[in-house]
Structure 1
Amino acid sequence: MIENVNALYAAFKAKDARFDGRFFVGISSTGIYCRPVCRAKQPKAENCTFYRTAAEAEQAGYRPCLLCRPELAPGASVTDATADLICRAARMLEENCGNGLSLEEIAGRLGCSSRHLRRVFTAEYNVSPVQYLQTCRLLLAKNLLTDTDLPILEVAMAAGFQSLRRFNDLFRKRYRLSPTALRKHAAEGKKRNDNMILALGYRPPYRWEEMLAFLAERAIAGIETVKNGEYARTVHLAGADGKRVRGWVKIGHKPEKNALSVAISESLLPVLPQVLARVRHLFDLHCSPDAVYDILQGMNDIRPGLCRPGIRVPGCFDAFETAVRAVLGQQITVKAAGTLAARIVERYGSPVQAGFKGLTHIFPLPEDLLALGGDIAKHFGALGVTSARANTIYMLAHAFAQGKIDFGLCADPKKEMRKLMMIRGIGGWTAQYIAMRTMGWPDAFLETDSGVKKALPGRTAKELRVMAQAWRPWRSYATMNLWNTLQEERDVL
């Protein structure tokens, strides 16, 4: 893609949002680099150099544009890298830029050596993983300096810098501007507020209402709320020192900016990169909707309106919570499963003061449920959960606590699904649903799902599976399109 300079300049000139985050433009006449959607005066083609990542542009000596703000660009999707390994490595670096995770540890999670990761990453992005990590930290700090009133020391620590001096030195070297000067520039003509609100960009279109409807229908009382076009939830995460922190996040939509607004409690500063990474995953912000629609638009030949551009696959914020919710939802209605989950939260969740109506608890940790021991069926039975599902949840908690199954974005979904199905009570539907939501697997297809069958009536599960072959590798998005048509029919009725 980067070699096709004429096509990239045309996309830059057209301000084509489909390419936002997929390349950056270094402008030699100004010394800055921009997103392809930047609204500044169009530079001449001979002054433009194109880079695959912000890190590569910074290594070439360019500093980020203060108008289009490269730190707000959506991240790489799986269609943007020649190898899925590299894409997942980039996401891991973004998520862990604040907790000091070493390259060896990241490579270990990806199932390769640090030497191999360094070689393929540099070959793809023209920067080393360490250089990419530095840019992740600097751009996160720039985002915090621009959009919050946090003290500069707290900004440096939240972005993963071990000392204020190191932060100041690298910031001045890369951006030719001190953190204080940047904040002063950003504050000009801008109304400040007491909340910590950041923005996360996406590639349009984004069907926000469909995403909210899905989350609202499955929201667990006490943990999540969907009100006034916003999603809010409680959060508990472990920091780099192992200490758990609690807080809340609230996400809204800013369609005029192709971004989501993310309000975060200050208690979550020690785990800020993790929080932002989980929000990106939950709302599928890495998606390239044009690439998905190119493959799935054939669904409209079956029935007009079956596939719409901009559909996202909801991820998850807490993998254990989502997995338990999936088990509870087996062979019962979505509403009934939500009722059972709310009872478990009320009985075994930890109370928390979130400051929002409806947010009262933290979801139980795997260790909390393991503490119930062999009596879990008795305890859960009093809440209306069958003994079979209670025992499945107990074994699932064991898998989480012992790390036997990888539920992260670096997982091999097919391998981990096989492990999941070794747990009594977890079959193909549940394993695929968990992989789709927790591991970000884009190619799940639930041919035995009642909603899928209802959306495509008159076909057997085998016929549906054969039909869905044409929708690979985006069958998860096809599933969401099918479910959404059912929601639309209910709304009409």
Structure 2
Amino acid sequence: MPLNRDQCYQAMLTHDPRFDGHFFVAVRSTRIYCRPICRSKRPALENCEFYRLAAAAEVAGYRPCLRCRPELAPGQSPADSADRLASAAIKQIEAGGLQEQRVSDLASKLGVSERHLRRVLVENVGVTPIQLAQTHKLLLAKQLLTDTTLPIIDVALASGFASLRRFNALFRERYAFSPKTLREKNAKVKHLPSSLPSCICRLFYRTPFDWSSLLTFFSRRIFAGIEQLEGETYRRTVAIGSHQGWISVENDPVHSALRAEVSISLLPVLMQVLARLRRLFDLEATPKQITMHLGSLANGNPGLRVPGAFDGFEMAIRAILGQQVSVEAATTFAGRLTRHFGRSIETPFPGLTHLAPTASAIAAASEDELTRIGVTKSRARTILAIARAVANGLITLDVAVSIDQALAKLKELPGIGDWTVQYFAMRAFGWPDAFPHSDLGILKALKTKNPRHALAASENWRPWRAYAAMHLWQSLEKNL
């Protein structure tokens, strides 16, 4: 669906923050593209072009504005896209999906041909997969060059470039100056300090943003050894491929951003780490739009987010352990599972001692090993089934082109029913319309014992039912 020029222009004139990240404004006379909130001189409508993605503006020959910095714009929610394949492909590419695999591999993962994937992206956002990946890498590099003191060769590595020479050449080709020149232009920028060997990035969100509710939710479901909450700071260990390390995240409400500190050991997978953090903290949500749709249900806390997942398999284990038991019991089982199957890791933080158990580690276990840590036999069989399916490549838990098909495939595994897949869709797939209508808390909040009544009531909240579920759960806490 093409952008409405008049609506985009009006949003730009009023600097409406609701549209930040939803489109970019390119100015023909300057060959610069901006966020709609940019405070630079307003161009005439006939001098503007509007693009859904920064990549489309760059492919058309425009350079990013050094004032409003398009690389810092919040991302787009899956609900914003009319095409699920295009949305899934964009998210995969933004998460480094083309760093170590070809376009044909990504297309295969998404269940389509390379030619079809290319056609869908061009039709929907005006760029090819390679062009999208190049822009995403360049914009991440631009952010690191401006906001950190990382050596330029490390910036190239962290941005997904295999060689410094290729990084310099593409940067100069797109932006008409070198990485070194940009670093010199921003020599007076005050960088975020750290006493640890790390890289600090800011991840921006749309306001309002309820950080405290997110931390409260996570605090009750902490994987001991893997995660840690200290005051208003969230920390966890990370393993992606052969790289392992830690992250530490805190809120910066003055700048409407999260301050994410990432250990230097994770620089080669920084793009993946940042994408996972955006998903974990639901940074791409459009809270004002959601609140307007949900009405009185959401008015009391318009900044409430749906807590996501850092890793799909880890989230699947959480969901299974949480079946028909209290949150406290599920957390206890998770800690035992971590100590038994998770590898140990050294970090600067005493509470972070283990990496999350991998699918292959659990897949190699026996049913008896799981029951010895307190898991029931039926739940042990379910955990083993999903671990072996993931380890053997039969299912993927980080992307879904068709939500219905992905959830149906999960339900084919023993012990996985509708509650589990809906909860998983909320948190791992980040699907905003997921709704676990049989959840006891939701039934209690709606004052019904019939899941069908809850499902019928939820129709009014589409396509934001996951947020409705969060508000219903929170209403129980307020009424205690």
TM-score (norm 1): 0.91
Aligned with 1:206 (options 206, 209, 213): 209
Q: CA deviation at 1:197?
A: 0.7
Q: Which residue of 2 aligns with 1:334?
A: 327
Q: Which residue of 2 aligns with 1:248?
A: 246
Matching residue's letter, 1:68: C
Q: Which residue of 1 aligns with 2:341?
A: 348
Q: Which residue of 1 aligns with 2:468?
A: 478
Query: Residues 274 and 192 from structure 1, CA distance in 2 versus in 1: closer, same or farther, beyond 3 angstroms?
Result: closer
Q: Which residue of 2 aligns with 1:451?
A: 441
Aligned with 2:282 (options 281, 284, 290): 284
**Which residues of 2 match residues 95-244 of structure 1 at below 5 A?**
95-96=95-96, 99-191=99-191, 193-194=193-194, 195-238=198-241, 244=242
Q: CA deviation at 1:100?
A: 3.3
Q: Secondary structure at the match of 1:26?
A: strand
Distance 1:98 1:353 in 2: 30
**Which residues of 2 match residues 410-425 of structure 1 at below 5 A?**
410-425=400-415
Q: Secondary structure at the match of 2:150?
A: coil
Q: Secondary structure at the match of 1:187?
A: coil
Aligned with 1:268 (options 256, 266, 278): 266
Contact 1:145 1:183 in 2 (8 A): yes
Q: Which residue of 2 aligns with 1:241?
A: none
Q: Secondary structure at the match of 1:486?
A: helix
Matching residue's letter, 2:375: V
Q: CA deviation at 1:237?
A: 0.8
Distance 1:105 1:191 in 2: 38
CA RMSD for the aligned pairs? Answer: 2.0
Is 2:39 the partner of 1:13? Answer: no
Q: Secondary structure at the match of 1:231?
A: strand
What percentage of aligned pairs have identical amino acids?
A: 46
Q: CA deviation at 1:192?
A: 5.9
- Structure 2: state its 5+ residue gaps: none
Distance 2:311 2:81 in 1: 26
Contact 1:407 1:435 in 2 (8 A): no
**Which residues of 2 match residues 80-95 of structure 1 at below 5 A?**
80-95=80-95
Q: Secondary structure at the match of 2:261?
A: strand
Aligned with 2:294 (options 290, 293, 296): 296
Q: CA deviation at 1:171?
A: 0.8
Contact 1:19 1:203 in 2 (8 A): no
Contact 1:98 1:273 in 2 (8 A): no
Distance 1:4 1:323 in 2: 40
Matching residue's letter, 2:397: F
Distance 1:420 1:82 in 2: 24
Aligned with 2:352 (options 359, 363, 372): 359
Distance 1:52 1:371 in 2: 45
Contact 2:321 2:334 in 1 (8 A): yes
| Total equivalences in the alignment | 477
Q: CA deviation at 1:86?
A: 1.0
Q: CA deviation at 1:36?
A: 1.2
1:5-34 residue CA offsets vs partner (Å, 9 max, x unmatched)? 232222112221110111111234433211
Matching residue's letter, 1:251: V
Distance 1:210 1:186 in 2: 36
Query: Residues 276 and 191 from structure 1, CA distance in 2 versus in 1: closer, same or farther, beyond 3 angstroms?
Result: closer
Q: Secondary structure at the match of 2:74?
A: coil
Matching residue's letter, 2:334: A
Q: CA deviation at 1:419?
A: 2.6
Q: Secondary structure at the match of 2:246?
A: strand
Q: Secondary structure at the match of 1:443?
A: coil
1:402-438 residue CA offsets vs partner (Å, 9 max, x unmatched)? 1222212234332232232232222221122122222
Q: Secondary structure at the match of 1:251?
A: strand
Query: Residues 191 and 408 from structure 1, CA distance in 2 versus in 1: closer, same or farther, beyond 3 angstroms?
Result: closer
Q: CA deviation at 1:158?
A: 2.1
Query: Residues 189 and 402 from structure 1, CA distance in 2 versus in 1: closer, same or farther, beyond 3 angstroms?
Result: closer
- Structure 1: state its 5+ residue gaps: 239-243
Q: Secondary structure at the match of 1:404?
A: coil
1:71-120 residue CA offsets vs partner (Å, 9 max, x unmatched)? 11112222433312111111111112562322111211222212122122
Query: Residues 3 and 475 from structure 1, CA distance in 2 versus in 1: closer, same or farther, beyond 3 angstroms?
Result: closer
Q: CA deviation at 1:459?
A: 4.9
